[in-house]
Amino acid sequence: MNSIATEQNTDRQLQRLAAQRQLYATAKKVLGYHVFLSGPLAVATAFLVLLCPSTKSYVALWGVVVVLSDVFWLSPWQKRLRSSAAGVQELFDCDVLSLPWNDLKASKRPDPELVKEKSEKYSTWANKMPPLNDWYPATAGELPLHIGRIVCQRANCWWDSKQRRRYATSIITVVTAVFVVVLMLALGDGFTVEDLVLKVLAPLAPALLLGIRQYTEHIEAATRLDKLKEHADKLWNEAFSGKKSPTYLTTAARGLQDEILEGRRRSPLVFDTIFNWLRRDYEAQMNHGAAELVAEARKKLEAK
């Protein structure tokens, strides 16, 4: 009944999704460098100090350098790439969900040359990733547009929230385990407070900072997404209340989309390995939820 199912699989929209995925992939590569410097390498330097105490000053200095690199270089770089990817995704969403572009919130539209460049780069390794077809549940296309787009927006928020909460739990578990192991080894060697600071906390500072930040940012993002999902549920109920017009629901959906866009710009990244691991289960659950909403909508529409 609407164009969502067909429009999202046109060559133009698939090209945009490919460009978006390439931009996110580059951002995740930068995050990978950051994780390596702040994670495995930081842990290795902590063990180095335990084995060779004379290196403690150099290791402490290295920890400071990594933290400064994070603050002034790696994190801003990731932020720029995330913002660019979110802009391309917004192009896709506006066309597929038939929403107007919001210049105030989304700013300038991404250049078509950028989309082509990034999509072509993505095509060289696209076979390693899940297909881009049916980005949103195809069943949403069976409903009137002002209702079907709510199904898509709700699915988007649900998926992202579930993924981030699980990811955050994994992060904090690993960081805590590593810290406890290194701390126990240090205490076992009878370290003084000074030794503990220079030989354990300083070299592990980048890893702890990154882990805590990642955990906090993913939980905050998931909380925002839960609130957006609740708003989508509210719009869903209003759609069948008989008190709200399709025009009102379209305007409200545009407001919800503004918040989804802002969340994409602000939210931390999830590595593709984790995304692919979680995708199968969450995709099945998402499609089931969308099918339930579609069935509910049909009954309510037929009853009118």
CA distance 70 to 218: 18
pLDDT over 70 at 187, yes or no: no
> Which DSSP symbol is given to 242?
S
Residues of the chain above pLDDT 70, percent: 85
pLDDT in tens, 252-300: 999 999 999 999 998 888 887 777 776 767 778 888 888 899 899 888 8
pLDDT over 90 at 200, yes or no: no
pLDDT over 90 at 84, yes or no: yes
Residue type, 68: L
**What local confidence, expressed as pLDDT, does residue 14 receive?**
97
CA distance 29 to 128: 15
Residue ranges per structural domain of the chain: 4-122+143-303
pLDDT over 70 at 196, yes or no: no
pLDDT over 70 at 50, yes or no: no
Q: Residue 50 in contact with residue 59, Cβ under 8 Å?
A: no
Helix axes 246-266, 145-188, angle to 10 degrees: 20
> Which DSSP symbol is given to 138?
G
| Mean pLDDT for the stretch of residues 109-113 | 96
CA distance 277 to 97: 28
pLDDT in tens, 157-186: 998 999 899 888 888 888 788 777 767 766
Alpha carbons within 13 angstroms on the beta-carbon side of residue 295 total 6
Record the tokens describing residue 268, joined without a space: 């931390």
